[in-house]
Structure 1
């Protein structure tokens, strides 16, 4: 198990609730409107996917029963409904940037279910890059090469079996991307309570110490490894 610090802040990993009752995905109408990827200010290496540029036009694919409040978008963008955006701003939460209107060109149902109702107004936002850093020494993850840059802490990982953040590196953002795992969106306990209070849909929150990502089934870093055959 990942070592826990008494009374330390709790964090959750934010994902689409795939196969949930509001499972919704999107595709850009103009697939070529992409810019450059964000880069580390120290080593210059890419730390994210290429930027989605204007015009912000999408087709939605509805797999669940109703359209979602939260949708993972192109690149490092996410889509949120107007009610999500208004509540986020009204309650003073932090970490989402941009809030640009999105044009929904078409909604296509992908599984059996009721005909989609009125399409809510959507905005595209990006999640801030935080000073919060993954604590490799207290986490259970495998990286495919040693970390060479102390700023961005790339390269990426082969598997994750729970992780934690270095004490004192988080600066209070409610939604953020941490150094060392920039591809992950983390949220504060305050954000988790916000989601529950407003009943925001298509949101899956996993405590980071319980999060498992192991597509090659390598097991945790301390698991015995099979030898050559």
Structure 2
């Protein structure tokens, strides 16, 4: 892994573990469910985020794997992170997460036969900031459905495939975890955050260098050129 003092910082996409993994879990909201409209681009007015889920955060957890991890992707753009992850995040001075609201786990169900999970972590609901870091439209290998983004601010457009992407130099403002302009559906983290995960051994967190991310559900391949 490159030095954090490098002139060209490295970034990683943060994902949960694969389906069928040891920490595979689904989240189902429980009433009352309060929502409000999501964020919009200040320039073109287009949506850049999903509807906001407001407290209280009451859920059922469906455990498909063997145990609960430190990181769960919840509905919308919400994340559930364990109390130990929250404590370390704050103690290490990392930035980019907001909210930190307690999650009430109303019920736990298991889909796999076997002994009941011994421990359900205390989770807190957080969101990652919409950062100023922007996808580099020239250097990234993204296949768009119709045409590339036309709004320089949000850089949103429907995508059919991603074969690695790069952030435009000079747009990152130092957050350790954020959603970049042009790819708000992805969680991007700094190299410092990647070292943080490795050092503490947090579970159910997969880190992929941004230039190595492949998402191609239609098997269309990289964009021409």
TM-score (norm 1): 0.91
Distance in 2, matches of 1:126 and 1:218, equals 32
- Structure 1 residue 55: deviation in Å? 1.7
Distance in 2, matches of 1:73 and 1:150, equals 29
Residue 92 of structure 2 corresponds to residue 114 of structure 1 = no
Contact kept, 8 Å, 2:140 with 2:165, in 1: the verdict is yes
Distance in 1, matches of 2:21 and 2:42, equals 38
Give the secondary-structure state (helix, strand or coil) at the position aligned to 2:107: strand
Match of 1:148 among 147, 150, 172: 150
Distance in 2, matches of 1:112 and 1:14, equals 30
Match of 1:192 among 190, 194, 201: 194
Distance in 2, matches of 1:21 and 1:113, equals 13
Residue 125 of structure 2 corresponds to residue 100 of structure 1 = no
Segments of 5+ residues of structure 2 without an aligned counterpart are 1-5
2:74 aligned partner: 73
- Structure 1 residue 32: deviation in Å? 4.5
- Structure 1 residue 31: deviation in Å? 7.5
Distance in 1, matches of 2:26 and 2:207, equals 18
1:173 aligned partner: 175
Distance in 1, matches of 2:97 and 2:82, equals 13
Segments of 5+ residues of structure 1 without an aligned counterpart are 1-5, 224-229
1:213 aligned partner: 215
Residue 65 of structure 2 corresponds to residue 61 of structure 1 = no
Give the secondary-structure state (helix, strand or coil) at the position aligned to 1:190: helix
- Structure 1 residue 114: deviation in Å? 3.3
Distance 1:61 1:151, change over 3 A: same
1:227 aligned partner: none
Give the secondary-structure state (helix, strand or coil) at the position aligned to 1:115: coil
- Structure 1 residue 189: deviation in Å? 0.8
Distance in 2, matches of 1:9 and 1:35, equals 35
Give the secondary-structure state (helix, strand or coil) at the position aligned to 1:13: strand
2:166 aligned partner: 164
Contact kept, 8 Å, 1:133 with 1:166, in 2: the verdict is yes
1:40 aligned partner: 41
